[in-house]
Amino acid sequence: MARHVLHLERELTRLRDLVLSLGTRVEESVQNAVKSLIERNTDLAKKVIESDREIDLMEVEVEEECLKILALYQPVANDLRFIVSILKMNQDLERVGDLAANVSERAIYLSSKEKMPIPFEINSMANLVKEMLRESLDAFVNADANLARKVCASDDAVDDLNREMYRQMESAMRDNPDRIKVFIQILSASRYLERIADHATNIAEDVIYFTEGEIIRHRGDL
């Protein structure tokens, strides 16, 4: 029995490491994607798109590891919650990786166009999203439900910024109908960032679930 527990403990630590590696990669991807967008760095954007493949592989590895632990050790209580939340976080992280690649695609397109200033809102949105993702991973590392709640709360700010972007782009399209394609690209980059923030929120919710055993999704109050 003791050995069994010890093995499980070791497997869980390994799993944690794997998820964290994935998280780190995704975080860096997002950072690079945002950087490539703001600085019009095509090389960096290409790098992000390439590294998405690696993130996908890592996601598969994490999932396999989770399934292996579930099948071999049949964990209960805390451990089970941990694995279940990792299974969900894993998907979120992978999606964030994809979105980072999408942002990078927009960045490549936008930097190929003539100088089109990136709206300031994108900048602050990107910073906010980066911060949220970082904090949700911090919350995971430290099993800190309070920090996770903070992440959930900042999602609204990103949503507001995204709505503001819609308004701005709408009027910009009306004024410059000939550049509609560029505006659409900017808009979709904004939307991707907003989606990344949503996934960061999901991760934070999973952290709350595994630390407190409480599912806070789809609740107005926090």
Partner 1 sequence: MFKAIFFRRFFLPTCLVVCLFLTGGVGYSLSVFKDRLLEIEIENLNERARLASLQAKTFFPLKKVEALQALTEQWEGAASYRFTVAGPSGRVLADSQKDPGRLENQSHLPEFQKARAGEIASSLSDKSIDSGQFISAAAIEKDGEVVGVVLVRAESDGIMVEWAEFASRLFFVLGAFVFILMGILWRKNRLENESLRMMEESVTRFSQGDLSIKSSENGGVGMDPLLHKMNRMAKRIDGRIRTVLLQKNEVEAVLFSMSEGVLAVDADEKILRVNRAAADLFGIESDHICGRRFHEIFRNSKLKKFIRRTLESSDPVEDQFTVMGEKDCFIHAHGAALVDADNKRIGALAVLNDVTKLRKLENMRRDFVANVSHELKTPITSIKGFVETLLQDDFNDPESAQRFLQIIMKQTTRLNVIIDDLLSLSRMESEMDRVEISREKVRIRELLQSTIQDCAFAATEGQMEVELVCDAQLFAHVNRPLLEEAVVNLIQNGLKYGKGGKKIRVSGAIENDVLILSVQDWGPGIEATHLPRLFERFYRVDAARSRNLGGSGLGLAIVKHIAQAHNGTVSVQSTPGQGSQFFIRIDLHQFAD
9 binds partner 1 (CB under 8 A): no
Binding residue for partner 1, selected from 12, 15, 25, 103, defined by CB under 8 A? 25
Single out the residue of 85, 103, 32 nearest to residue 210, CA to CA: 85
6 lies in the site for partner 1, by CB under 8 A: no
Contact between 71 and partner 1 per CB under 8 A: no
Contact flag: residue 118 with partner 1 (CB under 8 A)? yes
Contact between 21 and partner 1 (CB under 8 A)?
Answer: yes
Binding partner 1 by CB under 8 A: which of 37, 40, 75, 110? 40
Q: Which of 43, 114, 120, 218 binds partner 1 (CB under 8 A)?
A: 120
What is the rounded distance in angstroms from the CA atom of residue 140 to the CA atom of residue 130? 15
Helix axes 77-112, 2-39, angle to 10 degrees: 20
Of the candidate spans 73-81, 110-118, 146-154, 203-211, the one that interacts with partner 1 by CB under 8 A turns out to be 110-118
Number of residues engaging partner 1 in binding (CB under 8 A): 21
- By CB under 8 A, residue 35 contacts partner 1: yes
Please report whether residue 92 would count as binding partner 1 according to CB under 8 A: no
Q: Is 121 in the site for partner 1 (CB under 8 A)?
A: no
Q: Does residue number 112 form part of the binding site for partner 1 (CB under 8 A)?
A: no
